[in-house]
Amino acid sequence: MKLSFYPGCSLEGMARDYSRSVVAVFQHLGIELVEIDDWSCCGATAAHSLDEMMAVTLPARNLAMADKLGLDMVTSCANCFNRLRFSQQKLREKTYDVPWKISDELQVHDMTRFAAEPAMIKRIKQRMVRPLSGLKLVCYYGCQMVRPPKITGYADYENPQTLDRIADAVGAEVLDWSYKSTCCGASIGIGRKEIQDSLTLRLLAKARQTGAEAIVVSCPLCQANLDMIQRGGGRDVLPVFYFTELLTLAFGDDKNARHWFKLRFADPLPLLLARGVMK
Amino acid sequence: MSEKNTPATDPAPARPRTLIGDRRDHLLSRIEGETGANISACYQCERCTNACPVSFYMDVKPHQVIRHVQLGWRERLLGSATIWVCLSCEMCSTYCPNEVAVASVINHLRNMAFHSSIAPKERLLAVFHQTFLEELHRYGRVNELWLMNAFNRKPGVLREKIKSGALKHELLLGLALWRKGKLQLVPRRSKAIEEIKAVYRRQRGEVD
């Protein structure tokens, strides 16, 4: 099985560990990811804020390149996913015109929904060597991946389940909470720090109240945001995992995971050692 | 509106009433036309404002934005903090009982403000978006370090950051990120951006 892969700028910058874990997980699952040739930034969130035409044109070329490969497209960044789908919809409505050919059959998946398909869950369970039992997690989806439902195609946008299904498949204890898709405020951090802090700290507080020991995310901005605010947090921190890291741990790839965790402010190692997931 | 509606007992034919949007040059019809949002359907239930995570920081609350558009108060909207504070998290549009696309309207107003002569109330946020696009046009992709560098070199940004104490915080954060090795020093490029820019110029009607 082959898919075209759009990483996005974050996965080349501060979320390099995410991109590595994505590649590792898909290798384990036996799915080949073909990176889109010479992809460009999707423009989130500046392009749509200032110029909608730009917000349609920027992702359109990436869509066209994916279409040329003739493969379904998968992206791991929630913002990119949202912008690509938005552009696809506007082009379908013929609001704007672009010179590239994009067929209607091209499917844009976000990686979590792809990995939460029943067939993929089965594959994950087959490949799992070590269940992550004893880990109490909450799943955090953020805003861009699920909303607006007309663009993202999420039917359960009030209580999304994709990450929950994945975390459940690898044996973790998934807790229910009400802040699954509340915005973390990452886009406003530069300029109005206090707004971002108030939103992010509330998320962390609610996750703690729920009884979670860690948060699972799929958006690189949410991860950076939730993780960076906890620097200097000492032992009382809530580690923020990418869902791909959970899968890597379940597949028993400790060496890689240890390497990625070095980039964290909220260090997950003490928790994983205490729960006996890692040794 | 028409003569049919005038009561039969009224001797003099009433002057035809002009409804908002009748002449199609009202802000309401303009934005409804450009965004496809059914702004007229709003009955001010305030569900958008209650769903909004940042309505506390807004001077014109989301439901008021819709009312302002209905009333045609363009200057007040384009000069508001709301349009810059909005996170585009789409809570408002998702929970609106009348399916008014509130977030799209606010986003459209932000577009309008950017192309207008009205000074943005949240200057730093506006300048940041602009810097992001400039960096994007330069490299085709965006690098966090270079973006912040370009942003800080914009006129007045550093002064404002020193005044608010944000600069100190930012430098400490930068240092922490540097120690973790999270920052990418050399920006990655995408050659495709020239092609995209050419398309963009053509869409705008500029001749190469």
Tell me the CATH number at B108: 1.10.1060.10
On whether the CB atoms of residues B139 and B129 are closer than 8 A, the answer is no
Identify the pLDDT of residue B95. 92
Whether the per-residue pLDDT at A233 is higher than 80: the answer is: no
**Is the CB of residue A259 less than 8 Å away from at least one CB of chain B?**
no
Contact B129 A58 (CB under 8 A): no
Burial A92-107 (b: 16+ CB within 10 A, else e): eeeebebebebeeebe
**d(Cα B97, Cα B112) in Å, to the nearest integer?**
26
Q: Which residue has the higher pLDDT, B25 or A239?
A: A239
Please, what is the average pLDDT of chain B?
A: 88
- The yes-or-no verdict on residue A270 having pLDDT over 70 is yes
| Owner of token pair 């912008």 | A83
Query: Cβ separation of B195 and A48 shorter than 8 Å?
Result: no
With 70 as the cut, is the pLDDT of residue B77 above it?
yes
Share of chain B above pLDDT 70, in %: 90
List chain B residues with CB under 8 Å of A38.
190-192
pLDDT at B201 (0 to 100): 84
Contact at 8 Å (CB) between B97 and B47? yes
Residues from chain A that touch B89, judged by Cβ atoms under 8 A, are 143-144, 147, 183
CB A179 within 8 A of CB A117: no
Average pLDDT over residues B159-183: 89
pLDDT for B11 equals 66
Judge whether B5 lies within some domain: no
- Token pair recorded at residue A233: 């947090």
Q: Do B105 and B160 have their domain in common?
A: no
Q: Are strands A73-75 and A2-6 parallel, antiparallel or unpaired?
A: parallel
pLDDT band at B3 (very low <50, low <70, confident <90, very high): low
Q: Token pair 């607006």 is at which residue?
A: A148
- Smallest CA–CA distance, residue A203 to chain B, in Å, is 12
* Residue type (1 letter), A144: Q
- Strand ranges of the sheet holding A2-6, from the earlier edge strand across to the other edge: A32-35, A2-6, A73-75, A108-110
What CA–CA distance (Å, rounded) separates A171 from A190? 38
Report which of residues B2 and B60 the model is more confident about: B60
- Check pLDDT > 70 for residue B208: no
**Is the pLDDT assigned to residue A234 strictly greater than 80?**
no
Question: A165-182 burial, b for 16+ CB within 10 Å, e for fewer?
Answer: bbbbbbbbebbebebbbb
Same domain as B109, residue B86: yes
For range A137-147, the mean pLDDT: 92
Of the candidates B93, B114, B135, which is a domain's last residue? B114
- Judge whether B137 is closer than 8 Å to chain A, CB to CB: no
Query: Nearest C-alpha of chain B: how many angstroms from A210?
Result: 20
Name which CATH class applies to A130-274. alpha beta
Mean pLDDT of B159-181: 89
* Coil vs helix vs strand at B196: helix
What is the structure's pLDDT at B134? Answer: 92
Q: Is residue B162 part of a domain?
A: yes
The domain of B48 spans 27-114
pLDDT at site A45: 85
Average pLDDT over residues A50-78: 92
- The H-or-E segment that residue B187 falls in is none
- In single-letter form, the type of residue at position A3 comes to L
DSSP 8-state secondary structure symbol assigned to residue A106: -
- Under a CB-based contact definition with an 8 Å cutoff, are residues A84 and A74 in contact? no
Q: Is residue B166 part of a domain?
A: yes
- Min mean pLDDT across A136-140, B2-6, B57-61, B159-163 is at B2-6
Q: Which of B203, B204, B206, B208 to mutate to test the interface with A (most CBs of A within 10 A)?
A: B203
- B104/B159 same-domain check: no
Contact present, A176 and A158 (Cβ < 8 Å)? no
Residue finishing a domain among B63, B96, B114 = B114
User: In whole angstroms, what is the distance from residue A134 CA to residue A274 CA?
Assistant: 10
pLDDT at A94: 86
| Min Cα separation A274/chain B (Å) | 24
- Note whether residue B147 is domain-resident: yes
For residues B152-162, give the mean pLDDT.
92
Q: Is A7 exposed, middle or buried (0-12, 13-18, 19+ CB in 10 A)?
A: buried
Q: Do B111 and A58 touch (CB under 8 A)?
A: no
Nearest CA to B197 out of A49, A65, A75, A98 is that of: A98
Axis-axis angle for helices A220-228, A78-92 (nearest 10): 150
- List the single residue in B with minimal CA-CA distance to A52: B111
Percent share of chain A, pLDDT over 70 = 99
Average pLDDT (B44-56) is: 94
Residue A103 to residue A85: CA distance in whole angstroms: 14
Structure tokens at B81: 């903090």
Prediction pTM value: 0.91
Taking CB atoms and an 8 Å cutoff, what residues of chain A touch B58?
none
Q: Is the pLDDT of residue A230 over 80?
A: yes
- Quote the pLDDT of residue B8: 58
pLDDT in tens, A191-206: 888 899 999 999 999 9
A25 touches chain B (CB under 8 A): no
Contact predicate A84/A59, CB 8 Å:
yes
pLDDT per position as a tens digit, B95-132: 999 999 999 999 999 999 999 999 999 999 999 999 99
Q: Do B177 and A14 touch (CB under 8 A)?
A: yes
Q: Confirm or reject contact between B159 and chain A (CB < 8 A).
A: no
Q: Would B198 be classed as within a structural domain? A: yes
> Where are the domain boundaries for CATH 1.20.1050.140 in chain A?
2-112
Residue with tokens 């509340």: A182
- CB-based contact A57 B94, cutoff 8 Å: no
Percent of chain B past pLDDT 90, that is, above it, reads 61
CB contact under 8 A, B136 and A46: yes
Q: Is the predicted pLDDT of residue A152 greater than 80, yes or no?
A: yes
Mean pLDDT of the region A24-46: 91
| B146 vs A: CB within 8 A | no
Q: Which residues pair with A240 in a beta bridge?
A: A215
- A233 CB near a chain B CB, below 8 Å? no
Instruction: Please determine, for residue B2, whether its predicted confidence score (pLDDT) is greater than 70.
Output: no
Residue B3 within a domain: no
Residue of B nearest to A149 (CA): B94
Q: Do B47 and B30 form a contact (C-beta atoms < 8 A)? A: no
Distance CA A178, CA A193 (A): 24
Instruction: Answer yes or no: are the C-beta atoms of B79 and B121 closer than 8 Å.
Output: yes
Chain B residues lying within 8 Å of A263, measured CB to CB: 180-182
Number of domains in chain B: 2
Residue B152 lies in a domain: yes
Q: Which domain-ending residue is among B90, B114, B138?
A: B114
- Enumerate the residues of chain A whose CB falls inside 8 A of the CB of residue B132: 46
Task: State in words which class domain A2-112 has.
Answer: mainly alpha
CB of B201 less than 8 A from some CB of A: no
* Site of tokens 């998946």: A109
